Structure formats: C-alpha cells, structure tokens
Amino acid sequence: MKKIFLVGSLGLLVFLGSLQAQSDDRGFEIAKNLEIFSNVYKQLNLNYVDDVDPGKTIKVAIDAMLASLDPYTNYYAESQMEDVKMQLLGQYGGIGSLIVQRGDSVYISEPYKGLPADEAGLKAGDRIVAVDGQSTRGKTTADVSAAMRGQAGTNVTLRLEREGKEFDRTLTRREIKLPNVPYYGMVGDMGYIKLDEFTSDAAKHVREAFVNLKKDHPAMKGVILDLRGNGGGLMNEAVDIVNIWVPKGTLVVETKGKVASKNLKSYTRMAPEDTEIPVAVLIDGSSASASEIVSGSLQDLDRAVIIGQRSYGKGLVQNILPMAYNSQMKVTVSKYYIPSGRCIQAIDYSHRDENGKALKVPDSLKTAFKTKSGRTVYDGFGIEPDVEIEPQYMSNIAIALTQKFLIFDYATQYYRSHKAIAAATDFEVSDDLYADFCRYLKEKGLTYSTVTERVIKELREISTEEKYNGAIEEQLKAMEATLEREKEDDMVKHRDEISEMLKSEILSRYYYDQGRIEGSLKSDPVVQRAVEELKVKN
C-alpha cells in the first residue's frame, strides 16, 4: 500500500508541476507580449514622421484586441460614460428626441412625449441647422446626438428649419429615462405588454402593467409579452419578469465562466402575480440576451407559448469592470444556461474561418434537452418558437418609400394640415387619404428599381461582353417594358402594406410611440396569432 501511495503521490506532484509550468509559461507569454507592445509604441513615438496621438492610437489598439474576442467585450473611455449609462440604465442627459440623417442634414424624427424637445415644440420633420452655433451640415446623427447630450440642467440652443423658416429654441437638458414599457393595453380579451429594453426597473414596470391590466379588466383571459426587437439588458430584470408568472424559488438562469465567483444560479425571489393565466411571448431575430432568458426559461418551464421567429442566440453574460482614469470595460465573463440546462449561444467566437469570421455552432454539436413536461428543445441556435410565423419582408416599393422619406414627409405634411385625427385604435387610412398619397407620390416623381431590373441590367452587361447582346436585346427590352407596367400597379398590389406604414407614421405625429404601437395591434399577424393561441389555452 505504501508503494501505491508513493507512486500516486509522485503522479500528483508531476501533475501539479505540469500545471505550474503551464501557468509560468502563460505568465511569461503575457509579460513578453506586453513588453513587445510597449516597445512598439515607444519606437513609434520616437521615430514616426508625425506626432502620434497616444489616446487615439492606444484606444484603437485596445478596440482591435477586444474585437478579436467577441462583439460584446468593449472598452469605454471616460468621455463615453454617457453611452454606458444609456446602455445599462436607459437614461442620459439630453433633450429626448430621435433624430435621422438625410443627405448631409439631420432632422428630428420623433420627439418623446413630455420631454424637453416635445415641451419646446420640436416636431418631426424639423431640420437641425446648428447646435450651440455649430453648423450640423455634413455631420452624422452620432455627431449631432453627442452635441445635444450633456449634463442635466445645462442648456443647449438649437437652430431649426421648418417649412423654409429658421428659428431658435433653447432647451434645458434633463435626465432622460426612456420608458422600457412604452405601451400596455388590451387586444380583445387578452392583455398586451410591449417591453423595449431590460434596463433598470423593467421588471417593476412590466409587473405594474400586468397588475393594472388585471385590475382594470377582471375578465382578461391571457397576456401577451412582446419582446420583438428587444436586444436585452440586465439579467436580474429578466429573472424578475419571469417571476411574475412562476413561483418563488424557481431556477431561471445559471451562469458559468472561468471565475468561480461569476458562476451563479438565479432563482425567482418574490411571490408571483399569477401562475395560472395563459402567457404568450413574442420574439424575432432581434430578440436577444435577456429577451432569450425570459422566453427560453418560460418555454423550458412550459409556462408560456413562444410565438414568432427564432431569436438571435446570445448566451453570453457581460460585467462592467472599473478601469484606470474613470474608464470602464465591459467583459464577457460567462455563458448563461436556462432551466432545461441548455445554452442558446448561436455563434462560437473561439473558432473562426480563414477570413476571421466567427462560426455558428454546427448542427452536429447541438444537443437535445427536455422542458419541465418532457418536450424536446435544443441548444446552440437561439430560442426556437413553439409557433413559428414567417417573417414579413418589405416590397420594393415600400423600401423605396422608406429610403426616400416619402412616407415620413407626407405624414409631416398631413400633420401640419390636420389639427386632429381619430383615436389610435380607430384611425385608418381611408380611400381618400390613400388616393391623396398617390397624387403626392406622382408630384414627387417616385422612381425605384427592383431586383429583377437589376438582374436584367447585369444580364445586358454580361451579354454585351460575351457578344450575345444583339441576339437577346429585344427580349430584354420586352421584359423591361413588362416590369414597368407591373410597377405601375404596385401601389394597388401593395396597398395593405403601404397603408399600415402610412398609418404608423401619421399616428406617431399625434400620439407618439404609444399611438404607433396601439394602432398596429389589430393588424399585426403575430399578435393576432398569439390571441388565437391563448384562446385555445382557456
């Protein structure tokens, strides 16, 4: 026995020695490469023909290093703290307005209700000529946004242009906290809650919305939580939202990473509001991170029906780490796993192709897991909905109307000539309104190309190169003539789609984002399918 123990001890010592050697090697590699980097920068600073900006060049180096890991690990200099605050808390110091770039100018696209831009009378369609005397000509939306943001309580003066006339407005910046629940209401006898972001207090606001819906509509038979387009946010908010419909003490998500202290199990910690009411969660390809914790855990627990399109597939968790000189770094520290045990991370950033592009998790490595009731679900590619709805793609004409701001401009014109419209739930694009919009487009001389036209153009170029153009030119011209005739009917063929877009833009002028959402519900196919699915559950 002593010999066996001695051999075992020697084996352990060899193993520990190997680990120590690996650790020493890694430490040496880190020290060596840091020294190389320091020497490179020193020689650049001494020998480069022009002066080297240390802040700029080092920031570029850091960004490139972090980009080689994953898109979510980022470094933020002190000057970027407002951006970090916006990401985590959904708040910033500013005037409260969306802006959009058109050519070399920037315009107000939508002021937020009750915030400084709205209170100062700024309207969608106003062109921002200057900010604090500095022209915005040629500036990007990021440039103009940065100029308008600042510490709450300070003033910013905007020169604006509306209908050919310029005027000034001085606004006092405020701490802008965007509503993470921009709208909740009823769709028939089903409750509906739209959640835009998982910023601080998101769970509180979703819970309040649900409680109010139940109180105001005692006969409510189900609830729809809309997470479409929601890119995620704070994990604890996701856990607390799940808690609204599942019992206290239920495991929602587990994180696993290199650092033991980051390996956590998150359980629901409060009494639920309702563990029986049917729940539907809406997701799409832009639903990520915390949205996937909510939808995936409710799916794993068989507590909700998930409807829409497959989610994004972000199963990585980030922490904010304080750095020197008031800078910060957001670092991916772990992966999260939902109740069935699956991780829904879709992209493996540790493996890349010859062009450096990260690879998706292959089907062969996807693993089957079981929900609470025994249904099969898979890891590695986002949350797959229980009820899949084919995504709706914009028609060529709808894309053109959007890119050329023709719907936007018509809605602005309509708002200026109509003091009031019907309530958001009742407003529709009438035949007369649509006919007027068609006349407006003719005046503007709407032109656009289709994919088919572009293919014909390419075919003509290729046939010319290959000396076949003479033989097929007549056929190509005939195809172009046919397409032109077909395009003349596009406003008729795609009326439903265009009318919805027009309605949405007009409603936003009168009722802000809330009206836009409210007016879309009865024609939204995913919402309507959710209503049908919830009726089956009753």
Q: Indicate which residues carry an active-site annotation.
A: 289, 300, 314
Nearest Cα residue to 318 out of 280, 288, 294, 351: 288
Name the burial class of residue 453, with classes exposed (0-12), middle (13-18) and buried (19+) by CB atoms within 10 angstroms of its CB.
Answer: middle
User: Among the residues of 90-163, which ranges form H helices?
Assistant: 116-119, 141-148
CA distance linking residue 331 with residue 62, whole number of Å: 13
Specify the 3-state DSSP secondary structure of 288.
coil
Q: Which long-range CB contacts under 8 A does 435-440 form with residues at least 24 apart?
A: 437/410, 437/498, 437/502, 438/491, 440/406, 440/410, 440/413
CB environment 45-72: b (16+ within 10 A), e (fewer) = eeeeeeeeeeeeeebeeeeeebeeebee
Residue 445's region, left for phi above 0, alpha for psi from -120 to 50, else beta, is left
Return the number of other C-beta atoms located less than 10 Å from residue 180's C-beta: 22
What is the largest distance, in Å, between two alpha-carbon atoms of the chain?
Answer: 99
CA distance linking residue 381 with residue 314, whole number of Å: 9
Report residue 130: phi and psi, to 5°. Answer: -155, 155
Residue 270 near residue 245 (C-beta atoms within 8 A): no
Beta bridge partners, 20, equal: none
Nearest Cα residue to 100 out of 424, 402, 518: 402
Residue 263 near residue 207 (C-beta atoms within 8 A): no
Cα–Cα distances in angstroms (integers) from residue 371 to residues 171, 254, 374, 445, in the given order: 53, 16, 5, 56
Residue 75 near residue 329 (C-beta atoms within 8 A): yes
Beta bridge partners, 130, equal: 135, 159
Nearest Cα residue to 113 out of 126, 97, 127: 97
Q: Determine how β-strand 190-194 pairs with β-strand 222-226.
A: parallel
Beta bridge partners, 155, equal: 172
Residue 361 near residue 381 (C-beta atoms within 8 A): yes
Residue 291 near residue 311 (C-beta atoms within 8 A): yes
CA distance linking residue 198 with residue 288, whole number of Å: 11
Q: Determine how β-strand 105-111 pairs with β-strand 97-102.
A: antiparallel
Residues in the chain: 538
DSSP 315: -
